[in-house]
Chain A
Amino acid sequence: MLLPLTLYILLLTFVPVLQAIGMSFTDRYSGAFPSLSNYQYIVGRPDFTAAFLNTLGITALSVSMEMVAGLILALMLARTFAGRGFFRTVILTPMGVPTLVAGAAMLYFFRTNGYVNEALLRLGLIDVPIYWTESGLRGVFAIALADMWKVTPIVTLLLLSGLESIPGDVYEAADVDGANRWQSFWSVTLPLLMPAITMALIVRAIDAFRIFDVVMVMASRSIPVMSTFVYSNYFDFQDPYSASAAATILLLMIVAFIAAYFLLVERRRGELA
């Protein structure tokens, strides 16, 4: 009974992944294998450097904003208050919005004649409209915000279920020991929430590294990221070899991030415990 799923994943996930990795090490003119020529070719290109840095920037910014907002929302939702059900429903609505649509919506905020500029102009904070969707920090910020809007609910749910699994009596113990709210948050809630935080962080970071839809809609040409770089090498330059090399580098970035996280954060936590 395992056969259909196993076959499917072998044929349509493992084989394509191996094909892509294989292609990335095949010289696109001579067909020589193994060869690093595709890697040498893309690493030397300025649009690759931009894509690489934008991807890192977007991931760092959006994941940290999501984690903070998600944690605040989860802590709010862990309480009982009037209107909690309504609040929860509203907060979770972005889950019901396609990622692509999140990008489209942000388009109207971050266009040169968009609502962010209009608001800043009316408040007198700027005199000249800002061009947001350019490569660099501004573009990274606009895209990270779009990504954050879409996925904060998922982070919230992951952290909320983590919070709900913390037994109430540990708080009572902290209370008896005279801990105030901050102390019990830092020394009780946060450490016990670490497994949920790790889970949310890893899941989100993997997705943020692979960000595609939002960027395609908001700035398909002006802000390259790794995924759109792969896409445009394949489609615009008809070069699946360089595209594969970029996809493989993106995979390595994700693996490196996860390895680094477990080495730095999880191991240290293990030593402390």
Chain B
Amino acid sequence: MAVTLAQAINQALHDAMTEDERVLVFGEDVGKLGGVFRVTDKLQETFSEARCFDTPLAESGIIGTAIGLAMYGYRPVPEMQFDGFTYPAFEQIVSHLAKMPNRSRGTVKLPVTIRIPYGGGIGAVEHHSESPEAYWAHTQGLKVFTPGTPDDAYSMMRAAIAMDDPVIFLEPKRRYWMKSETELPVQTEAPHRAVVRREGTDVSVFCYGPMVRTAMEAAEAAADEGWSLEVVDLRSLNPLDTPTIVASVQRTGRAVVVHEAAQTLGMGAEIAARIQERAFYSLEAPVLRATGYDTPYPPAKLEEFWLPDVDRILDLVERTLAY
């Protein structure tokens, strides 16, 4: 059966709410409307307004009350309607959600899964196409997951909700309509593991979320050039599955990291650092990064020039092969 990534998340929320009545879904427009991307479609109808409810338009309020609800014993799954609207909740996320379990020496557990549609490529207006993953990945105490396929979207969402740790769940909004032939429920690899999506011998391409598909397309195109790319879908940005990253580079000797977010201090910087720390003698070339530019996210008509695409990835693959 063809399932879109959005439907897979909807089904995951539905199944989690069925299995555990402590699971609550709330946020702006998640009830009657079913979310602006319809990811929460029919949950209110099925589970009542008590368990899937619309909140006032206040992001800090959504996350701050989620913390209180989790302290009480619920498993909240709040939605931040868009990436760029998460910033008002920044303090609640970094100062409380991430730290309270540690500050309390483990007596307080906060099993909160924050859903954030993120990234560009849908022609949205300003503040609707941000890639803030580095903020969350830099904040210790959070786990940061981002699926790149419908199967993972289902399985990783179920795992995130079942976890006692707070999770930032980044949903690649340009892939909401991406389909896979799958039967739900499906269980994929544990969410903290990176997965080799395509094996190759020349260059490792590290990607996640919306760029998984782009990297796979680049690998297809590269094959026409006679280059064998290994595509590694990181899936979890914190923790990072360093052994899988290192093993891949040890096989190929070359690495290109791909992400939409701006380059400076992005995930690519961390991955490059880990590779040179642990696989220095395997490297045939410097680790390169195919990323967004170090500018604010551009207007929609220019985003195709800003976002990394197959060509930008292949250019870097060629550069790394030239060493």
A, B co-complexed: no
CB within 8 Å of A: which residues of B? none
CB within 8 Å of B: which residues of A? none
